[in-house]
Amino acid sequence: MLRLVTGIAGPSGFGSASTAEHVTQGIDASNLTVVITGGASGIGFETARVLALRNAHVIIAARNMEAANDAKQKILNQNENAHVDALKLDLCSIKSIKEFAERFNDLNVPLNILINNAGIMFCPFQLSEDGVEVQFATNHLGHFYLTNLLLDKMKETAKSTGIQGRIVNLSSVAHLYTYDSGIEFEKINDKLSYSDKKAYGQSKLANILHANELSRRSQAEGTNITVNSVHPGLIMTNLFKHTGNLMGLMKMFSFLMWKNVPQGAATTCYVALHPQLKDVTAKYFLDCNEWKPSKFAEDEGLAKKLWDFSNKLIDSALAKNAVTPL
């Protein structure tokens, strides 16, 4: 807590006051291609901007293409040599995710880093177009499916270049505040028991469990890819649009714990790019330092159950989307 409030650096040499530019200073990413979801605004945009500043080829994946193209232009206005593309992606739609992967593959570029950044928070109960509670669908399931679709490209890139691939899942300290069983598999779509706060915490817990299980599978396969999760910190962004007044009041009483956007993007950029993280996998980071997550987050059985459950939801969605022959 002292480090969080004061900004004192931890073992990594960085802390809560570090910015994305600070933690990537001197790093040349000119041989790397990055996909970042939700890169059109907030800490996603700052992450995209800084990675482009470090010469990475950045692909912004976003639902709102007008905002994505505006973000691309802002980056180019600041850095005319930046290499940035924008592709449409709606994480709340299995169909859109599949179409994104197809468009990405059509670019015929490598993929070194995948940053699963986009998310929604504290939404009123609603279902995605595939019939899944929208926070779980967007924050976890969409990224789970996207990662599955891009994983072969990442493996191929890591093997052909010898450069270790990295997958970064943006989680949250909110993963500590979830349902009593961690993940309510049998009640994912239950409106009566729905809590917007706990449903968000559940989806953020799922982000860590997904990263840990994918890391275990990658290590067993001998794949040269690391998978980690991060908590970016408390930042006032569009994520709080459903509870803006509540968060504003909360910020008044906890202002020392809040970060600005450049600080909020620091941990993501650190885990995605810094050479100190070579071979580091299945870890949870806060303020650019490794942190111990909840017991649920370290539960291998829960992670494996979530993996199977997620695949079943995707299979069901794909079956519904399939065109029935005449």
Structural domain boundaries, residue 156? 2-317
Residue 325 inside a domain? The answer is no
Residue 140 CA to residue 282 CA, distance in Å, equals 17
Residue 189 inside a domain? The answer is yes
Residue 326 inside a domain? The answer is no
Provide the pairing of β-strand 289-291 with 57-62: unpaired
pTM: 0.92
Residue 304 inside a domain? The answer is yes
Catalytic residue among 145, 177, 194, 270: 194
Nearest CA to 114 out of 53, 55, 164 is that of: 164
Q: Domain containing 31 — which CATH number? A: 3.40.50.720
Instruction: Count up the domains in the chain and report the number.
Output: 1
Q: Specify the pLDDT at position 30.
A: 97
DSSP state of 24: T
Residue 313 inside a domain? The answer is yes
Both tokens of residue 144?
A: 């789970």
Residue 324 inside a domain? The answer is no
Q: Specify the pLDDT at position 257.
A: 53
284 is catalytic: no
Q: What is the pLDDT along the chain (326 residues), one digit of tens a residue?
A: 445 555 689 999 999 999 999 999 999 999 999 999 999 999 999 999 999 999 999 999 999 999 999 999 999 999 999 999 999 999 999 999 999 999 999 999 999 999 999 999 999 999 999 999 999 999 999 999 999 999 999 999 999 999 999 999 999 999 999 999 999 999 999 999 999 999 999 999 999 999 999 999 999 999 999 999 999 987 754 554 445 454 444 444 334 456 999 999 999 999 999 999 999 999 999 999 999 999 999 999 999 999 999 999 999 999 988 744 33
Q: Specify the pLDDT at position 112.
A: 98
Query: Which neighbouring-strand residues pair with 289?
Result: 286
Q: What totals of helices (H) and strands (E) does the chain contain, helices first? A: 12, 8
Side chain identity at residue 276, one-letter code: Q
Residue 109 inside a domain? The answer is yes
Residue 153 inside a domain? The answer is yes
Q: Specify the pLDDT at position 4.
A: 53
Q: Specify the pLDDT at position 258.
A: 66
